[in-house]
Structure 1
Amino acid sequence: MKISTTALLACVLASTGCSTTSGSISAMSTGGKTVLSTGTRMQMIGHAFAPPAFHDFCAREKRLCSTSGSQKLVELTNSRSAELASVNSSVNRRITESSDMATNGTDDDWRVPSRYGDCEDFAILKKAELMKLGWPASALLLTVARSGWDGHTVLTVRTSKGDLILDNRSSSVKDWSRTPYRYFARQALGVGKAWELIGSAEPVI
């Protein structure tokens, strides 16, 4: 039976729980240093429904739910690149991956983790850590993708060199179009409670 794109998207957003199976993500590094070359941006193609558990998260964590602000992307200097790599690796080391059911006794629960969490919790903590370093909330967008049949959530960081992904499955920071996921939706710029559908990759000009 052929499944429509709309039906598939609804399925993804309704079940954004994370698989514990690591994705196959090639390293984007040279000599142990993360390489961030000019990449691509996500083309946004319309309104999307937010994952159900996201609404409760926004009610509790308005600051981390927010995408407001005038700075829609960050100039990716060497120091900023190092901050992304450091936060991504640090959170991945500090937090032990665990399902929401095992951690909180619920099917889907978005929150800032302290010791245990699943994919969206990693992404939320990375956003919090980057904001402490002065990164604007408007450039840090929670994003839903698909890995095989498994839902997955990552943090998209909008930079002058493209939309970069911070992922609990990899210590490397990569351009979104160079990850093994099928992307569906992310938070809307300026309106954190709203979500938008993701289309094709657009080159950074």
Structure 2
Amino acid sequence: MRALMDGLGRASHVDRQGLLMRGARAAQLGLLGTLLLIGGATAQGQTQTLAALPDASAAIERGGSAKPVSAWTDFCNRYPAECAVNTSEPTTLTMTPALWRTLTAVNRRVNGRIRPMIDQDHWGVVDRWDFPDDGQGDCEDYQLLKRRMLVERGLARRALRMTVVIDEIGEGHAVLMVRTDRGDYILDNKTNAILPWQRTGYTYVKREGQDGLAWVSLNGVASPITTANR
């Protein structure tokens, strides 16, 4: 009988050890599953974040100083704060999903809100840069309003540069260049799509500088006299 009881005791001890080992194993598997689940969620979140951002591209190369179009000089005389450069601001913005949504929303809103009208019909002059506060304007007026709205939303004006290009029909045209850590992107009244500068099909001439009132040359192309198109 004692031998039987000793045997049962040893068997119970073995069973307890087995239960403890199985419990520990289950806990390890549970922890591993939790870690895998968290890791999967993190990876999915990173993928969604990257998917919400535009493709990265190279920044445009700048050349020497350039003379702005005369209509810009006149604009600066009327709105000096719009042309001042605050060198304490960053020269580029950090691209995030929130920034991309803001750029897209402002670009679409202004493009849909302003009625295109050339300066000759609007102001009675060939080229005038101004805010389209009456709901009408041409290319540069769209971009000036977009920049004002973006600055009101907390973006650094120094990273938002008015830019002169030659468009697809060979005419002078103004766009807004947004300089970011993922490259330079273009806000344009001709499209709601915000594109890397290389994909617009435009020839880039010059843009506002980021260190003072002087403009900078882009690609060494001859400048148009005006940007007076829609």
Is TM more than 0.5 here? yes
1:34 and 1:172 in contact (8 A); partners too:
no
Question: What's the C-alpha RMSD, in Å, of the aligned pairs?
Answer: 1.5
More displaced 10-residue stretch of structure 1: 137-146 or 35-44: 35-44
- The reply on whether 1:152 has 2:173 as its aligned counterpart is yes
Bigger helix share: 2
Deviation at 1:159, TM superposition (A): 0.7
Match of 1:139 in 2: 159
Match of 2:29 in 1: none
Whichever residue aligns with residue 139 of structure 2, its letter is: C
Helix, strand or coil: the match of 1:158? strand
Helix, strand or coil: the match of 2:191? coil
Structure 2: runs of 5 or more not aligned: 1-50, 221-230
1:66 and 1:190 in contact (8 A); partners too:
no
Match of 1:98 among 88, 94, 117: 117
> What is the percent sequence identity of the aligned residues?
34
Structure 2: how far apart are the matches of 1:168 and 1:116? 12
Structure 1: how far apart are the matches of 2:104 and 2:162? 17
Helix, strand or coil: the match of 1:40? coil
- TM-score under structure 1 normalisation? 0.78
Match of 2:95 in 1: 76
Match of 1:45 in 2: 63
Helix, strand or coil: the match of 2:61? strand
Match of 2:11 in 1: none
Q: Give deviations 1:68-105, integer Å, cap 9, x for gaps.
A: 23311110110000000001000000101100011111
Cα separation, partners in 2 of 1:169 and 1:34, compared to 1, 3 Å: farther
Q: What stretches of structure 1 move > 4 A for 4+ residues in a row?
A: none
Match of 1:122 among 119, 137, 142: 142
Match of 1:54 in 2: 72
Structure 1: runs of 5 or more not aligned: 1-32, 201-205
Structure 1: how far apart are the matches of 2:52 and 2:119? 31
1:64 and 1:127 in contact (8 A); partners too:
no
Structure (1 or 2) with the larger CA radius of gyration: 2
Cα separation, partners in 2 of 1:34 and 1:111, compared to 1, 3 Å: farther
Structure 1: how far apart are the matches of 2:114 and 2:83? 20
Bigger strand share: 1
Deviation at 1:194, TM superposition (A): 1.1
* Larger RCO (CA within 8 A; separation ≥ 6): 1
Match of 1:26 in 2: none
- TM-score under structure 2 normalisation? 0.70
